[in-house]
Amino acid sequence: MCAVVGAGVLGLPYAFSYLGWVGGLLTLSTLCLFSIYTSYLLSQLHEVYGVRLNTYREIGEAVWGPRTGRWAVASVQYTLMIGLCITYSVTAGQSLKGIISGECSGSDCEFGVVPWIIVFGVVQLALSQVPDFHSLWWVSLLGAVMSIGYCAVAAGASLAVAVSGSSPPPMAPRSSANVVFGIMNALGSVAFTFGGQAVLPEIQATLKTPPRTTTSMMKSVGVAYIVVILAYFSVAVTGYAAYGTSVNPDVLLSISKPLALIDAANMMVVIHVAAGYQVFAMPLFDLIESSIRGRAKTVGKSPPRPVVLRLTMRSLFVFATTLIACLLPFFDDLMGLIASVGLMPVTFILPPLLWISSGNAGRLEAILCGVIALSSTLLALVAFVGSMRNIIVDATNYNIFG
C-alpha cells in the first residue's frame, strides 16, 4: 500500500483541470484497470518457471536472457526509482514549507523551497541506514497509514468547499500552447500515481516460500487497490469539483482551512514520502552495495565493512537526489517526466511484453497485452513531450536562490 498509493494522488485534480471530467475519469479508470492487470502478470511471473524470481530484473533475465533482460528492465526500473526519490523530495519540501511558513501556493512553492528539501534530505540520510526491506516494515506501515490520512483530509476538505459553494473563481484563460502541452503532461501525471509495480517482485520475494506466493500477493494487491480506488477517485473528483481550473498542482495547497487539519495533512505527506523514498531506494542500495562487494571479491580484495559501505554509498545517493530536487522543484512537471521515462514502461509496458514472451499468454490475452503495451507506449511519448516542454519553460523563470 505504501508503494502503490503515491503522493501523486494529490496532483490528480490539477490533471483533471486540463483533461476535464470525461477525459480525466476515462484516463484514471483505464490506467487503474491496466495497473491491476499488470500487477497480476508480475505476480504470476514471480514463479512462472518453477523457481522464485525475486527481483524485477531476474524476471527480465529469465524471460529475455541475461543481457537483454537485464538492460531492458534495469534501465527503466532504476530510472523510475531514482526519479521517484527526486519527486518525493520536492513533494516533502513543498509540504514542509507550507507547514512552517504558511506561504506555499502554486508556483510560489518553487521559490524558497530549497531549504526544506535539504531538511528532508537530512531525514533520509538517517533513514537510509536501515539495513534491508525486512527492517522497513514499520516504515512502510507508517507510510501506508499516512497516505490514507492525507487523502481523507484532501477529499473531505475539498468536498466541504464544493458543497458550500465557496469555490474560487476560475483562473485566467490559458494559452493554446499551454493547454495542449498541459494536457500532454496531465496524462503522465495521472499515470504517475501507479508506481507500485517497480518494487512488486521485490516485495513478493519477502513472503514465505511455501505455499505459492501468487495468491497471497494478489490478496495484498487487492487490498491496496481498494484503497487506491477510494482515495484516487475521491481526491480527483472532490478536488476538481471544489477548485476547478484554479486548483494548485498539489491540491492540499489549495485548501486554506481548517489550518490545523491542513498542516496535519501536509505532515502526513512528509511522513509518507519519507517512507516511500526508502521503499523505492532500498533495491538501488542493495544493487550498488552488492556490486561493490562482488567486484572486491573478483579482484581478491576484502569488501568494505557493511556499515562503512552503507554510510558512504547511501549518503552519496541521498545527496545526489536532494541536489537534483533543489535544481528542479517542479512537482507537476516532474510527475509527467518520471511517468513517461520510467513509470509507464515499468508499470504498463514491460509486464505485458514479458508475459507474452514467457509463452503463457493465450491468443486473446496476448492481444490484450499488446493493446496495453502499445497504447501505454504512445501515452508515454505524449507525456514526455509535454513534461519536457513545461520543465524548460518553468526552468527559465526559476532561481534556486529565490
H or E segment and range at residue 163: helix 137-164
Q: Which range in 22-31, 136-145, 213-222, 261-270 is most confidently predicted, on average pLDDT?
A: 22-31
H or E segment and range at residue 5: none
State how far the Cα of 313 lies from the Cα of 319, in Å rounded to an integer: 10
pLDDT value of residue 281: 87
pLDDT value of residue 138: 72
**Per-residue pLDDT tens for 116-150?**
999 999 999 988 887 665 566 676 778 778 888 88
State how far the Cα of 116 lies from the Cα of 202, in Å rounded to an integer: 31
State how far the Cα of 81 lies from the Cα of 88, in Å rounded to an integer: 10
pLDDT value of residue 308: 83
Q: Is the pLDDT of residue 203 over 70?
A: yes
Residues in Cβ contact with 57 at an 8 Å cutoff, skipping those fewer than 6 apart:
69, 70, 73, 74, 77
Q: Is the pLDDT of residue 401 over 60?
A: no
pLDDT-derived band at 392, boundaries 50, 70, 90: confident
**Per-residue pLDDT tens for 231-260?**
999 999 999 999 988 888 888 888 877 888
For the chain, percent helix, then strand, then coil, each to nearest 5?
80, 0, 20
Question: What value does the mean pLDDT take over residues 1-25?
Answer: 88
Q: For the chain, first and last CA: distance in Å?
A: 36
Burial class for 201, CB neighbours closer than 10 Å (0-12, 13-18, 19+): buried
**Per-residue pLDDT tens for 29-44?**
999 999 999 999 998 8
pLDDT value of residue 99: 81
Closest CA to 149 of 335, 284, 314, 275: 275
Domains of the chain: 7-396 (1.20.1740.10)
CA 400, distance to chain mean position in Å, is: 24
CA diameter of the chain:
72
Half-sphere exposure of residue 270: CA atoms within 13 angstroms, side-chain side: 24
Q: Which carries the bigger pLDDT value, residue 131 or residue 25?
A: 25
Q: Is the pLDDT of residue 209 over 70?
A: no
Find out whether 354 and 63 touch, Cβ atoms under 8 Å. Answer: yes
How many beta carbons lie within 10 A of that of residue 65, not counting itself?
11
Find out whether 328 and 18 touch, Cβ atoms under 8 Å. Answer: no
State how far the Cα of 141 lies from the Cα of 135, in Å rounded to an integer: 12
Burial class for 174, CB neighbours closer than 10 Å (0-12, 13-18, 19+): middle
pLDDT-derived band at 357, boundaries 50, 70, 90: very high
State how far the Cα of 53 lies from the Cα of 140, in Å rounded to an integer: 22
pLDDT value of residue 81: 85
301: left (phi over 0), alpha (psi -120 to 50) or beta: beta
Considering the chain, what is the average pLDDT of its residues? Answer: 85
Find out whether 195 and 343 touch, Cβ atoms under 8 Å. Answer: yes
**Per-residue pLDDT tens for 320-341?**
999 999 888 877 778 888 888 8
Q: Which carries the bigger pLDDT value, residue 379 or residue 129?
A: 379
The Cα-based distances of 248 to 12, 104, 168, 188 in angstroms read 10, 10, 12, 17
pLDDT value of residue 107: 45
pLDDT value of residue 400: 63
Q: Is the pLDDT of residue 106 over 50?
A: no
Query: Lowest mean pLDDT: which of 94-98, 180-184, 318-322?
Result: 94-98
State how far the Cα of 196 lies from the Cα of 4, in Å rounded to an integer: 4
Burial class for 205, CB neighbours closer than 10 Å (0-12, 13-18, 19+): middle
Q: Is the pLDDT of residue 74 over 80?
A: yes
State how far the Cα of 170 lies from the Cα of 147, in Å rounded to an integer: 29
Find out whether 346 and 340 touch, Cβ atoms under 8 Å. Answer: no
The Cα-based distances of 307 to 130, 265, 289, 294 in angstroms read 10, 35, 11, 16
Q: Model-level pTM?
A: 0.83
Q: Is the pLDDT of residue 376 over 60?
A: yes
pLDDT value of residue 382: 93
Q: Which carries the bigger pLDDT value, residue 25 or residue 263?
A: 25
Q: Could you give the dihedral angle defined by the CA atoms of residues 321, 323, 327 and 332, in that order, rounded to the nearest 10 degrees? A: 30
Q: Is the pLDDT of residue 27 over 90?
A: yes
Q: Is 194 helix (H, G, I), strand (E, B) or coil?
A: strand
Query: Lowest mean pLDDT: which of 102-116, 138-152, 214-228, 356-370?
Result: 102-116
Torsion angles phi and psi, residue 154, rounded to 5: -60, -45
pLDDT-derived band at 290, boundaries 50, 70, 90: confident
pLDDT-derived band at 354, boundaries 50, 70, 90: very high
pLDDT value of residue 252: 85
pLDDT-derived band at 12, boundaries 50, 70, 90: very high
Q: Is 129 helix (H, G, I), strand (E, B) or coil?
A: coil
Q: Is the pLDDT of residue 3 over 80?
A: no
